[in-house]
Every structure is written in C-alpha cells, then in structure tokens.
Amino acid sequence: MSIETLQVVHTDLQVRGGLKNIAIADVSDVSGVSYGSGTHTITDVTVTTAKMFDLKLGTGSLSSSGSKENGSIMFENTISFYVPNMSLAHYDALISMIDLPIAVWAEDYNGAVYCTGISEKYNESSDFEGHQMYAKVTSVEGGTGAALGDESGVTVTISAMEGELPRLYTGTYTPAADGSIAFA
C-alpha cells in the first residue's frame, strides 16, 4: 500500500493533539478491568474514586518510548500536564497522589481516552489486583512566574513502566462539572 492512498478523515483540522482532561485513581480504587479481546483496549472498569484535572489547550501530553532488553519490550508511558492557578484543592489532590500506585485516563481533543497504569502484560493474575505495572507521580514542578503576565501553576509528570503501550479505553468515560468522572 502506498502512502498516496492513505486517507485521513477529521472533523476539525485545527486540533493537532494534546490532552483535554485527565482522571487519576489510586489502583486500590480500581477493579473489574475488562481487556478487549483481540484489540488493544480496556472495555470496562470499576473505579470508586478518581480525581479529574481539566486542562488548557496545549498544556497536556502523552508520550511513549519502548526498548527491548533480553527479549522483553518495556514501554515508559509518560503523561505531563500543567495546572494553572494552583488552588488548595489542586494542591491537596496532588499531594495525596505522591508515592501512590495510580492508574490514569487521559482524554485527547479527538475524543479518544487512553489508559496507563493498567497493563495486562506481565500480570501475576487474571484480575487487576496485585499487578505491578502501575503509574506514579515522578515530578511536580511549579512557580509563581516573574512578571505580571506570567502564569503561576504546576507541571505534573506521571510515568508508568509497562509491558505495553497505553490502551484505548472504550467504555463510558463521562467527566462531570463537579470534577468527578463516571466510568462504565
């Protein structure tokens, strides 16, 4: 197949990428993970409590890099996002995640929801409980800005060493105005 025959249909050609919002949950609040049969998806999950961050356009990204060592391929999946005008609620949510094993859902501006911190590969059991491929907050960097026009806020980086690329979440993912997320 030649590249000339590749057709891309898109409803908004101005949207180039980036993340719209991020939902973060402690892995102990995640259960009932259903992986897609023959697809690289998660079709269903039960999440009791998740924290949501709405993002400004151009301030959130998801990247993956993989390497093969001794016959095993591992991927470092990294989510980075900026929280402007840091509030006490944002601060408390970030502090509560430090040193916790977490799972992250990231919705992009095309409506796709990617999940990292939940990996089927190298699981010790068929259930999600007890797996070791979770994500962690790896850095928090912030400041007030030096000039009147500078933004004040915090850049958060979350990384997960997993045996696979982030999975596409195809279940129901509905952000609410109160900062909660409904999963189904």
> What would the two tokens of residue 134 be?
């979770």
Lowest mean pLDDT among 11-15, 46-50, 53-57, 64-68: 11-15
Cα distance between residue 40 and residue 45, in whole Å: 15
Per-residue pLDDT at 1: 47
- Segment 122-148 mean pLDDT: 72
Cβ neighbours for 110, distance < 8 A, ≥ 6 positions apart = 10, 15
What is the pLDDT of the chain when averaged over all its residues? 84
The domain limits of the chain are 12-183
2 has pLDDT over 80:
no
18, 57 contact by CB (below 8 A): yes
pLDDT per position as a tens digit, 11-39: 666 656 789 999 999 988 988 888 898 88
Per-residue pLDDT at 131: 58
Per-residue pLDDT at 182: 87
| Dihedral angle of Cα 155, 99, 33, 105, to the nearest 10 degrees | 0
pLDDT per position as a tens digit, 70-91: 888 889 999 999 988 777 887 7
pTM score: 0.83
Q: Of 58, 71, 23, which Cα lies nearest the Cα of 155?
A: 58
